[in-house]
Structure 1
Amino acid sequence: MKKLLGALLLTSLGAVAFAQIPYSTSFEGPTFNPGLLNGQDSWQTSDSSYGVSSFIARTGSQSVEWSGTDSNFPWAFRSFGNVANAVADVWVFVPGNTHSGFYFGLEAFLDPLAAEFSILTVNKDGEVRGTFGSAGSTDLTVLGNVGSVADSWINIKLSVDTAGSTWGTVNGTHFLLPTLTASTFIEDIDLASYAWSSPSGVTGRAFFDDFSAAPVPEPFTLGAMALGLAAVASKRRKK
């Protein structure tokens, strides 16, 4: 039984290892240099509003800065290679002088034929907006409030599974997002910046750092790990 569990666990972990994720970065040199993010370490952006900056960083000396007035949901991403599930994690710093109409976070880019969305964002006041009700709607609904996050680093996580649940967290507060019903794969999970209700011509600004992405752990893998830990604990009690 022990050999079977071990073999199955190694098989599961081995399958995950062949994906284009896990991936993590703090946007440091020499891989990243100050200037436009587009083209660096295979990152792509929708426009020139994302750049590598040394103005502020959570770790190291560099982060990704977004600065703009664009209300068309400008994004930055690195391809995952069309995976069935993924969880992404990033830290965001929103300056106190950024208008509260700007929201920042993560957006999953899904199978384009499915026309579904998974988005989680927050503004400097801690108001969280995300997809709600139907995964086919891009209308961002207020999901809650985590308190003011201006001038501080805030953690945002987005977990997307085309065959399971979709959820996110903002500084540890959990938000359930619509279950996907049509998407078959995830192309990537983007850094997202959105002008929800900012006055025309007002420039927003935010910084992203310590981005990571990995496959969502399979239920069996988690179960096998739990069984293994329970067995170890039982042996220790018997000694």
Structure 2
Amino acid sequence: MNILMIEDNESVSEMMQMFFLNEGWEAEFKYDGKEGLDAFKAEPDKWDMITLDLNLPSMDGMEVGREIRKVSRTVPIIMLTARDSESDQVIGLEMGADDYVTKPFSPLTLIARIKALHRRSELVSEPQKEAETSSENFDIQTEHFKMNLKTREAYLDSKPIEGLTPKEFDLLYTMAKKPRQVFTREQLLELVWDYQYFGDERTVDAHIKKLRQKIEKVGAQVIQTVWGVGYKFDDTEVGR
């Protein structure tokens, strides 16, 4: 794996470099927001993972993340932040980060998060085979909704739901393959993120919010809230 770590604390970078090497991963370290963004833009296809600190000199991590997402909507981003406020974490997720780790953190925790996120995003980097419109190419297909895991595409009434991040796609797929089943936030954290967030349900809510915005651009809402429980996929009301 090639990792770009944008982090102004050199001690943290030096510590993580040892752990990355132990995993057999290549890593490049940038200590300035603009330098980190320039490094990504210079070779956007090189990076398998980005860890991004929020508090950076010259360019704030939020701005760096937004600029990265303009170039690539699929490169996995883990946000590192010393801030512990709900607003910063939610804004970071809405900016396009796939995950966040709050400082101080255990290096093994960050390694586990990177591995989990990488597993979930590996399909994005597979060469796309020639897409056909026959039904057997869709892993999920209803009267109004289709999803293809190989091409990472989702359609509502034949209109593509565009701009889905890896986590948003996985979240939609997890619910859509069991339509009308209600998922609690804890279940979605475990199924989509591959590990426990120890009760931090804001991660799910932030991703659901962005996912709904992208769905609503092409048609009726298919992600429903079941108050006091969680969320479900239901497209039975589409077109009515």
TM interval, short-chain normalised:
under 0.3
Q: Which has the larger radius of gyration?
A: 1
TM-score, structure 1 as length reference: 0.28
Higher relative contact order (CA 8 A, sep 6+): 1
More strand by share: 1
TM-score, structure 2 as length reference: 0.28
More helix by share: 2
